[in-house]
Chain A
């Protein structure tokens, strides 16, 4: 297959503000691609639109505008309800943030994993189902004796294994991981991260990994997108974005990562002011203007577009006109 597995073009999503004629611009003209077999990280603070963006890609939300192409096929225009029943539902699956909230409390682990097999995979025969569930449970290392348990009888790590098993039961092409470890303790987080890396290698899946923690994204992703207030402000290879960030927001994010080692504490970049409201933002102002320590008058007149900085690194900031610092 030539071309990327997923291509998102000028995706937009607006939500009406109740009782007004105003709109929240949650995702505002986002472009990106994911190659087959790649792990793309998506980083941004809460409220930046990253969850909306992945719900558009997962076809859980209708985009206001733009295209979403899976293997070259436009899926963004397929209505959400139709997509949920169509053959492509199995190709894009999602692991949610809080496993306790995203598992049906009345479904045993077995039922949860068997559900997509029956609904989307046509596996209705009980014996085949049991075999398939056992195989998937084995992949995520969920012990057989836990399959009969309800979510509240499982630990957080075990719950998330069930969530992952459900998502990979039909071998999706694209697996979207929305903060899959943020509700877990660090020791469990490490286990889940190792499991995800192993599954990707074994099953040849493609990941879109979402997190507010750039340090975590760096560990697992090949490339990273940094999102701020509905737009992508920087993208590039994970290691490079981490070691040589350009955008003031990316730099602030990295400088704010806590470092226990007293000698390793780096200079902090302080963000000023408050984020701008995502409600009808002025189209000519950089979205980061309100908090940017390096803003200047041009940032008020013109919204910066993504520009190439070297081969695969891009940044949307007027400070980097002409490809240099």
Chain B
């Protein structure tokens, strides 16, 4: 979970708190992971695990109630958190871009989708107005939007969910970023459309040697598409491993239970074992391991701080005192 030399993105010991009326939510605690050049890293976890706020913190679009309380986000070696607003913005669009979850809500509802793409191009490239329009149409064709000239003038509400998702992806890749953060890019779409959208992102990433942080609650989806997977639970990174290894031999008890509760095409209902308990309330005082009270393997030693980070085999990290 420590930064490897040459990684494109290094998130190290990142901690984030949210101030709410009900107290301080320690939404992310000492999260560390890396994304290499042209690598696809999946991030999985239940809702409230900290996936989206990690993405937002990396992009510098954290909700105003949130505050980074420690750690660093380094992109090509530069500490993004230490940069000023203007410098920081220089990274958005060209170097890194995000495709937000729920595309229809994330797009500007009162601007034609083609114009939204042109706005990005005008800001992040040297293209002029008419060249930007041509490029927008090319991008629409690239993300398989039928009849680009017609849909160029369409508003988000006139498009299906799958189409909005494609527009969102076109927006995100318009500036040819080195890193694409795709936050639940296919949630809410039916499986066939979901599959098409993911294949599209994969192709774009491959063509442009673009690295990707693929965030999803769907383990199957992430395992299928990512080179490595980061598993999160209640604001902690609990395990990082190459995809195949993670699915064949998970070492953190939470990952194992998450796998056992996810339906796959061969499972029967009896095979699906629920995870005991629920995600802890992050406003309360928590033990070093936030999975402790849900864990079948928990022992007194689990209450000793700090939460360990063990490289159990090369490239396979586990935050557990009693790994499987």
- B224 interface residue per 8 A CB criterion: yes
The CA of A25 and the CA of B275, in the complex, are separated in Å by 42
Given the complex, which residues of A lie within 8 Å of B269, measured CB to CB?
193-194, 197, 219-220
- A297 interface residue per 8 A CB criterion: no
Q: Interface residues of B toward A: which range?
A: 35 or more
- B314 interface residue per 8 A CB criterion: no
- In the complex, the answer to whether A187 meets B261 with C-beta atoms within 8 Å is yes
A192-214 CB contact bits vs B (8 Å, 1 = yes)? 01100100000000000000111
A185-B46 contact, Cβ under 8 Å, with A45-B192, A45-B193, A191-B274: yes
A190-B272 contact, Cβ under 8 Å, with A45-B193, A47-B160: yes
Given the complex, which residues of A lie within 8 Å of B219, measured CB to CB?
186, 260
Q: Taking the nearest CB of chain B, how far is it from the CB of A289, in angstroms? A: 15
B232-266 CB contact bits vs A (8 Å, 1 = yes)? 00000000000110010000000001110111110
List residues 167-197 of chain A with CB under 8 A from any CB of chain B: 185-191, 193-194, 197
A187-B192 contact, Cβ under 8 Å, with A157-B278, A219-B269, A262-B244: no
- In the complex, the answer to whether B272 meets A193 with C-beta atoms within 8 Å is yes
- B125 interface residue per 8 A CB criterion: no
The CA of A311 and the CA of B222, in the complex, are separated in Å by 39
- B315 interface residue per 8 A CB criterion: no
**Contact among B223, B243, B263 for A216, CB-based, below 8 A:** B263
A268-B195 contact, Cβ under 8 Å, with A187-B274, A260-B219, A260-B243: yes
Among listed A57-65, A130-138, A250-258, interface-contacting one: A250-258
Task: Show the binding face of A for B, using Cβ within 8 Å.
Answer: 44-47, 155, 157, 185-191, 193-194, 197, 212-216, 219-220, 242, 249, 252-262, 264-265, 268, 270-271, 273-275
Q: Please provide the 9 A-B residue pairs with the shortest distance between their CB atoms, ordered closest to farther.
A: A260-B223, A45-B190, A256-B195, A258-B220, A187-B275, A258-B221, A185-B46, A190-B272, A256-B191
Task: Show the binding face of B for A, using Cβ within 8 Å.
Answer: 46-47, 146, 160-161, 188-196, 199, 217-224, 243-244, 247, 257-259, 261-265, 267-269, 272-275, 278
